[in-house]
Structure 1
């Protein structure tokens, strides 16, 4: 049994830069090596698939959550340690979040942004204190970080919002940050 469960939100596409897939593979491997369980969207495509395949290859435990309507699009990966089917995307996010100790957001698109902002908002309003990490591979999230700073500067959020997500530029930094946060 894993000591901690890490929810990973990330792209169902590989992205343009090979560094995204490389980091997804490296992080999946690191999760397994640390004995941490991967909690993710159960897809076998893009960064999602790369993280899961790497975790499995390294002997890690995997917990996937797939909404019924996305099974064909995201190629539901049913050979996981645990595989849960939900009715809606909202239910998927809730099940993933309730089954983790920390959240990692890797590069991704609108879905990853939705997932990030939901857990960030939940943190902002005091629903949880789980650590949230952004893996900022090659500066991918720089504009998102600038947007959050802008929201704070324009007084639409307290400055504490900036501290709710820890930004790491490398998989090594991410693993170290998770290790520290989960002590």
Structure 2
């Protein structure tokens, strides 16, 4: 495996209805490849997952997909990646994605994306890893979640210090600026 830095991108297996999601997802993939940053993602050939993988590959970037066997069997795996890792379970998938990555970025998505984002930030809070966790808030998609997280700080369930662990970018450039290996 290459020693280059890799970013794990969590995102939807659907493209959503907002017309900015696809071009902004592609822009992130292009930027990763242009900055010699590899992509680690869920290994799918559908939704925003497919868009980020293809965009990164189209600019010569490395893409590592990690998919559990049951999803691979449903024929949703992307077959043209730098590497496709097949795991037995979703838990193994998430652990491998974290292991292969130096940072995390959450794009728009559903329950799976939310769960992965929350796990990554919780692991950072607990010291299980020391990797940057970023929300790419495309067109305000995560505004309500960010508002809710800030409410949890106000209610003293999340400390001010731990709140600073979760970074937010409203553009590809802002997301890349949060990456410690890009500064």
**TM-score class, shorter:** over 0.9
Q: Equivalents in 1 of 2:25, 2:158: separation in Å?
A: 31
- 2:117 is equivalent to residue 116 of structure 1: yes
Does the CA-based 8 Å contact 1:93-1:115 persist in structure 2?
Answer: yes
The residue that corresponds to 1:99 in the other structure is 100
The residue that corresponds to 2:33 in the other structure is 32
2:20 is paired with a residue whose SS is helix
- Residue deviations 1:126-146 (CA, integer Å, cap 9, x gap): 111111110000111011111
Does the CA-based 8 Å contact 1:7-1:103 persist in structure 2?
Answer: yes
Q: Could you tell me how far 1:73 is from its partner in structure 2?
A: 5.1
Question: Judging changes above 3 Å, is the alpha-carbon distance between structure 1 residues 171 and 74 closer, same or farther for their aligned structure 2 residues?
Answer: farther
The residue that corresponds to 2:11 in the other structure is 10
Does the CA-based 8 Å contact 2:125-2:162 persist in structure 1?
Answer: yes
Q: Could you tell me how far 1:35 is from its partner in structure 2?
A: 0.7
The residue that corresponds to 2:169 in the other structure is 168
Question: Judging changes above 3 Å, is the alpha-carbon distance between structure 1 residues 152 and 74 closer, same or farther for their aligned structure 2 residues?
Answer: farther
Q: Equivalents in 1 of 2:131, 2:164: separation in Å?
A: 12
- Structure 1 ranges of 4+ moved more than 4 A: none
2:66 is paired with a residue whose SS is strand
Does the CA-based 8 Å contact 1:29-1:58 persist in structure 2?
Answer: yes
Q: Could you tell me how far 1:175 is from its partner in structure 2?
A: 2.1
Query: What RMSD over aligned residues (CA atoms) do the two structures have, in Å?
Result: 1.3
TM-score, normalization: structure 1? 0.94
Task: Give the unaligned 5+ runs of structure 2.
Answer: none
Structure 2 matches for 1:70-149, cutoff 5 A?
70-71=71-72, 75-149=76-150
More divergent stretch after superposition (67-76 vs 88-97): 67-76
Does the CA-based 8 Å contact 2:66-2:85 persist in structure 1?
Answer: yes
Q: Equivalents in 1 of 2:157, 2:33: separation in Å?
A: 39
